[in-house]
Structure 1
Amino acid sequence: MSARKRLLFRWLCLQVIFSTVFSKDWEAEVEPKIKALVKSCVVVPCTFNYPGTQLPDSRIRAIWHTQKKGDDIIYHEDRTKVLDSFKGRTTLLGRLGQKNCTLEIDGVRDHDNGPFCFRAEIPTLDKYSFTESCVTIFPTEDPDKPNLEKKEFLEEGVSTSFKCSTRHTCPSHPPTITWSFSNNEAIVNNRDIGHGIWEVESFLTFTPSEKDTHTELTCTINFYGGKHSTIQTPLYVKRKENIFHIIIPVAVVLGTALLFGVMCFFMSRKYKQQIQELQSGNGIWSRMSRMSQRNRQRNQPDLNMANLWSWTAALAFSCKMF
């Protein structure tokens, strides 16, 4: 093999090696599927890599386009190149110098499905469309129902916490949470749980009273774009036990028993006194006894005459028989 052919062969090998290395350096990670609320916004997490050293933002151009047509651009720094249906609705949130290509789509519409892909252009190097890593958006008309965490039974006078939360895709305009009770002590937290989903949660702390039982506690979540969702739960407050709840029933029972005992004592004493009067000589019982004795004595002759007549009649009847 001549020297010229050997040189050409080595050059071709180097081209294959460099093209393979460079093609591996062009990489992107994009969340493949995201459900987004219509009229709200959606943030598509995106990171990418390119060959060579890290460059500043000004040396890299970011473009988002549809997967089917690279010319159907939904984001470009030159807004004249953006599709009319996406003008003013897309914003690049990521820092290109930090290899972040995160995109926000505002005012989500029911036809914002995609798939949408990212393309990086580096004038001094190359440009690359990551059509193998695209995002598909699933617009939904109704927000998810909130989650409400609470104790089943509350205790009167004891501070209690409630948690109301929901998930969303719009961290730049997180939902607001309001309670039917006072919001003075409500704490709101918005955190990224990954895969293009954020969770906003509100913690309400208040001290229930007995009058709060059987009332409704309502948590209302207002989403960016005008939609809202609510959840309600009944409150059951258990009356706090204290010493008065023990003393009062015991005092009522003891008072009733004491009153009954006093009444029994006086009634027994009165009846004993009446019995003694009846049994005494000057009592009514004694007088009635003497009157009964006199009546028996007065009627005694009548009884004797009656007996005499009875014997006389019996004797006369006997004489007739003979």
Structure 2
Amino acid sequence: MQLEFWLLFLCVQVIPHVQSAKKTWTVSVPPRIPALQSCCVVIPCSYSYPDANRKGIQHWWRGFWKKGNQIISTNLPHRELSKEYRQRTMFLGDLRSRNCTMLLDGVRSTDTGPFYFAIELSLGMRFSYIKNAVTIDIIREPKPPSLSVQVSDKITASCSVTHSCPAMPPKLSWNHRGSITQRSKKRNEWKWEMVSTVTFTPLLSDFNKTLTCTVKYRGGKVAQNSTIIHI
């Protein structure tokens, strides 16, 4: 899936480092995340375990994302996964930093979950966060992107869309040439926003022409929004 390029980015950006250990088994995950069918979704996750700062040294951390009894993702490189999820998931988190983030690619209508995280530590500690499961709300078709236009000596148009897969964000494009800038912004723990802005000096030939923003998602789904240029 060529996701290795994004591993470092996600470990830093998707979820903050846990500052202090708690005395109980705790996990922080969103209970529900919307995801576009055939696209990808990142489930942000951080965990804590009892006496995390005690003198005993942990030599290894084994993390598992599960659906029922099926293992769908793990940080163990040679562990066999459920056939349904083989080559569709990637364990993005660094367990030493208590980050258990997971990516699910090629989202299917059956990928609703619930999914939960389980951890095994080298000092004989293990726990399953079954009560903190994540449900995926499958969206069959994307909504049109938001579109706004400002007209003065130049035309500045902005197109934005929210998504839940910062590893492979949607691609935005315009049907008009101009100076184009793009930025990505984190809205909350699981929602990201992609914004594309085009600026150009209008010509008389642009009068009453359609300006269109097109968004293409991982997996191939496409959505558009258009406006008429009034000079």
TM-score w.r.t. the length of structure 2 is: 0.84
| Residue 113 (structure 2) aligns with | 114
Higher gyration radius (CA): 1
Partner of residue 183 from structure 2, selected from 183, 189, 194: 189
- Per-residue CA deviation, residues 176-209 of structure 1 (Å, 9 max, x unaligned), is 11111115x1101112111311110001111112
1:94 equivalent in alignment to 2:93: yes
Aligned length: 208
1:167 and 1:198 in contact (8 A); partners too: yes
2:22 and 2:48 in contact (8 A); partners too: no
SS of equivalent to 1:214: coil
Going by fraction, where is helix more abundant, 1 or 2? 1
Offset of residue 58 of structure 1? 5.8
Q: How many percent of aligned residue pairs carry the same amino acid?
A: 32
CA–CA distance in structure 2, aligned partners of residues 96 and 223 of structure 1: 30
| Residue 73 (structure 1) aligns with | 71
CA–CA distance in structure 1, aligned partners of residues 41 and 85 of structure 2: 13
1:28 equivalent in alignment to 2:27: yes
1:144 and 1:167 in contact (8 A); partners too: no
Call closer, same or farther: CA 1:163–1:122 in 2, change over 3 Å: same
SS of equivalent to 2:205: helix
Instruction: Give the gaps of 5 or more residues in structure 2.
Output: 1-20
- Per-residue CA deviation, residues 101-124 of structure 1 (Å, 9 max, x unaligned), is 011001111100101000010021
SS of equivalent to 1:145: coil
Greater Cα offset, 53-62 or 33-42: 53-62
| Residue 64 (structure 2) aligns with | 63
Offset of residue 93 of structure 1? 1.0
| Residue 200 (structure 1) aligns with | 194
Instruction: Give the gaps of 5 or more residues in structure 1.
Output: 1-21, 238-322
CA–CA distance in structure 2, aligned partners of residues 204 and 170 of structure 1: 24
2:184 and 2:194 in contact (8 A); partners too: yes
| Residue 222 (structure 1) aligns with | 216
| Residue 179 (structure 1) aligns with | 174
CA–CA distance in structure 2, aligned partners of residues 39 and 199 of structure 1: 19
1:163 equivalent in alignment to 2:162: no
CA–CA distance in structure 2, aligned partners of residues 110 and 79 of structure 1: 27
TM-score w.r.t. the length of structure 1 is: 0.61
CA–CA distance in structure 1, aligned partners of residues 227 and 59 of structure 2: 53
Call closer, same or farther: CA 1:44–1:119 in 2, change over 3 Å: same
- Computed over aligned residues only, the root mean square deviation of the Cα atoms, in angstroms, reads 2.1
Matches within 5 A, 1:236-275: 236-237=230-231
Aligned structure 1 segments of 4 or more residues deviating by more than 4 angstroms? 54-58
SS of equivalent to 2:137: strand
SS of equivalent to 2:118: strand
Offset of residue 25 of structure 1? 2.0
1:181 and 1:217 in contact (8 A); partners too: yes
CA–CA distance in structure 2, aligned partners of residues 56 and 94 of structure 1: 20
SS of equivalent to 2:84: helix
